[in-house]
A = this chain, B = another copy of it.
Amino acid sequence: MRDSDATMIRSLPLFHDMADDSFEELVRGAYVQSFPPMVDLLIEGDSSDFLHIVIDGTVELTAGWNEGETTMTVLREGATFILAAVVRDAPNLMSARTLEKSKVIMLPAEDVRRVFEQDHAFARAVVRELAFCYRGVIKCVKGLKLRTSLERLANYLLKWQKKLGGDACFTLPVEKRRLASILGMTPENLSRAIKALRPYGVVVTGLNVEITKPDDLKQLAKPTPLIDDTRS
């Protein structure tokens, strides 16, 4: 592993506070790999031998059942995945594949578990990370059960607008059919939902979004930190 990669993951909350030698021990056995787009990294149901960290690019987590597949989330630089499966030594509940050319660090699950035993700061960070992920999924369930697809879309747009700096114009971070899957609808329906948001000041051209009447959109979306806040 390059120094720059080590520095990068060292700065992540999960690894930031741990002892130097614990970090060394983790990094020693790590693999760094670059993958082209659309490569499967993990298959749902397989055992989880490595904790994965996205260094660069984007990775999609999906789940399937009975011919169907849905996108659970899309991960970017700094995100870790299948921590829960590694901790419990249980099969992956989701598949993972690269969307773009991506660089991923893989830490052997054994090492993670061993260092976890030794280093209390790391243990605490793992707890915080898992609690964070848990709360993220809870919010996802709340959105699915309490909101219509139009409302989910409206809140998604507001969330990303804020995340990307708050400008009236911004670019969608994923292609539309994946966005549809994330929001739990079909691509056709997303198309129609986008049109339905036009009266609320939403103009979408390709992946570009402009929100001209944020107050009107918020009145429809009714965002709340208890569902839409990414941190906390």
Contacts and interface: CB of A to CB of B under 8 A. Distances in A.
Interface in A97-129: 116-117, 120, 123-124, 126-128
Interface stretch (A24-32, A52-60, A130-138, A194-202): A130-138
A144 B144 contact: yes
A165 interface: no
A12 interface: no
Contact of A63 (B117, B132, B142): B142
Given A124-B123, A126-B127, A134-B84, A226 B144 contact: no
A45 B85 CA distance: 29
Contacts of A63: 138, 141-142, 145-146, 226
Instruction: Tell me the dominant secondary structure on chain A's binding face.
Output: helix
A93 B184 contact: no
A64 B146 contact: yes
Contacts of A123: 120, 123-124, 127
A139 B93 contact: yes
Contacts of A224: 65
Nearest to A138: B93
**Which of A44, A138, A140, A144 gathers most chain B CB within 10 Å?**
A138
Residue among A135, A144, A225 with max Cβ neighbours from chain B (10 Å): A135
A138 B91 CA distance: 13
Contacts of A91: 225-226, 232
A147 B184 CA distance: 11
Interface of A: 44-45, 63-66, 68, 70, 72, 83-85, 87-88, 90-91, 93-94, 116-117, 120, 123-124, 126-128, 130-135, 137-142, 144-147, 184, 222, 224-227, 232
